[in-house]
């Protein structure tokens, strides 16, 4: 028999993920502070619970998808939280992007109660959540990962087992560092190229063949060329993720100078009311300082 899944956190990411689970035939018990998404899921056949504790009481497996470390800590280990209601033998999967240090602490707390916990952050954004094509990076016990794989496969495509508890969050932090720093490199390159008179469309084309090729140029190229920064992935979320990376660097003793620089530029964007733009808007800071807007040239050459 299919397990009953508790799902806590029905935001931009969580709601479509929960929807895909219902559509795949799982019984869902859902909880969120906001009523709209809860009612939408009830309409699809899910059951409601009044607290995280009640979700845990009614489920064989609990998934959390929340904004940040303190939210997960509160919902899992706080008053009326998951660990107050959960039975020994139940699995807890946190799919939020949070600090690896917090993920490991929560996994240890859960283990002390006989609860196996996986950290399984995702990438791929709301589009990936809707289409069930998220990338999922998973930390925890291998056998628990194997048991949960069919559930992950409902929500994602590229599902990688990374190692022990916290390894999924560590990998997500690495991912966000590489993306953030690459976005900054591309921003500097394209602004320089454009102000020195070269068509940025041609620069992107020329760079796509060699060592400079990257997902940022491929997937965000149109943003730069049209100078539109609709998310995509919001600056304020990437800023949060780089803050997690910096905390992780501090906890494990790894200095992150370029990450730090990019995090501060994202902080600047938030201050300047650009926090809800796509993270490729990092280029607007360099553009502002250089007094130019990068855009594809109208004609060829």
> Which residues between 11 and 40 bind a second copy (CB under 8 A)?
none
Q: How many residues at the interface with a second copy, by CB under 8 A?
A: 76
Length of the chain: 301
Regarding 223 and contact with a second copy (CB under 8 A), the answer is no
**Interface positions, 93-112, toward a second copy (CB under 8 A):** 100
Tokens 């899944």 correspond to: 5
Other Cβ atoms less than 10 A from the Cβ of 142: the count is: 11
Burial grade of 257 (CB within 10 A; 0-12, 13-18, 19 or more): exposed
Q: Mark whether 172 is an active-site residue.
A: yes
Interacting positions 257-276 with a second copy (CB under 8 A): 257-259, 261-262, 265
Residues 6+ apart with CB under 8 A from 139: 103, 118, 119, 120, 162, 163, 164, 165, 166, 167, 168, 169, 170, 171
Residue 202 engages a second copy in binding (rule: CB under 8 A) = yes
CA distances to 10, 103, 219 from 208, in Å: 38, 37, 12
Pick the piece of the chain touching a second copy (CB under 8 A) from 19-27, 28-36, 210-218, 268-276.
Answer: 210-218
Q: Specify the residue, 74 or 178, whose C-beta has the smaller distance to a second copy.
A: 178
Which member of 123, 223, 243, 284 binds a second copy (CB under 8 A)?
123
Specify the residue, 26 or 161, whose C-beta has the smaller distance to a second copy: 161
Based on the shown chain and the rule CB under 8 A, indicate whether residue 206 belongs to the binding site for a second copy. Answer: yes
Judged by beta carbon, residue 28 or residue 285, the one nearer a second copy is 285
Nearer to a second copy, 95 or 203 (CB): 203
Q: Restricting to residues 137-166, name those near a second copy by CB under 8 A.
A: 137, 142, 158, 160-164, 166
Whole-angstrom distance, CA of residue 87 vs CA of residue 84: 9
Q: How far apart are CA 15 and CA 164, in angstroms?
A: 28
Distance of alpha carbon 71 from alpha carbon 80, whole angstroms: 13
Annotated catalytic residue within 109, 127, 172, 195: 172
Catalogue the active-site residues. Answer: 172
């Amino acid at each position: 028999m299919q397990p009953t899944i508790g799902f806590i956190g029905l935001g931009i990411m969580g709601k479509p993920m929960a929807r895909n689970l219902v559509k795949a035939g799982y019984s869902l018990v859902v909880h969120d502070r906001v009523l709209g998404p809860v009612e939408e899921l009830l309409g699809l056949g899910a059951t409601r619970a009044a607290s995280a504790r009640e979700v845990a009481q009614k489920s064989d497996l609990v998934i959390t998808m929340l904004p940040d470390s303190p939210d997960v800590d509160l919902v899992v280990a706080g008053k009326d939280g998951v660990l107050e209601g959960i039975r020994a033998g139940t699995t807890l999967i946190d799919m939020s992007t949070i600090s690896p240090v917090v993920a490991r602490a929560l996994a240890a707390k859960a283990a002390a109660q006989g609860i196996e916990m996986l950290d399984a952050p995702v990438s791929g954004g709301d589009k990936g959540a809707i289409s069930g094509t998220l990338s999922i990076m998973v930390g925890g016990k291998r056998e628990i990962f194997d048991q949960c794989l069919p559930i992950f496969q409902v929500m994602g495509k590229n599902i990688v087992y990374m190692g022990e508890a916290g390894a999924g969050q560590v990998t997500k932090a690495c991912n966000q560092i590489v993306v953030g720093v690459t976005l900054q490199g591309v921003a500097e390159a394209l602004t320089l190229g454009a102000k020195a008179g070269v068509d940025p469309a041609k620069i992107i084309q020329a760079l796509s063949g060699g060592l400079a090729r990257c997902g940022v140029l491929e997937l965000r190229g149109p943003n730069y060329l049209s100078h539109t920064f609709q998310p995509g992935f919001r600056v304020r979320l990437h800023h949060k993720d780089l803050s997690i990376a910096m905390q992780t660097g501090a906890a494990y003793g790894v200095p992150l100078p370029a990450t730090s620089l990019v995090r501060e530029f994202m902080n600047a964007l938030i201050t300047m009311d650009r926090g809800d733009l796509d993270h490729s808007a990092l280029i607007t800071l360099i553009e502002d300082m250089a007094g130019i807007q990068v855009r594809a040239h109208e004609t060829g050459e």
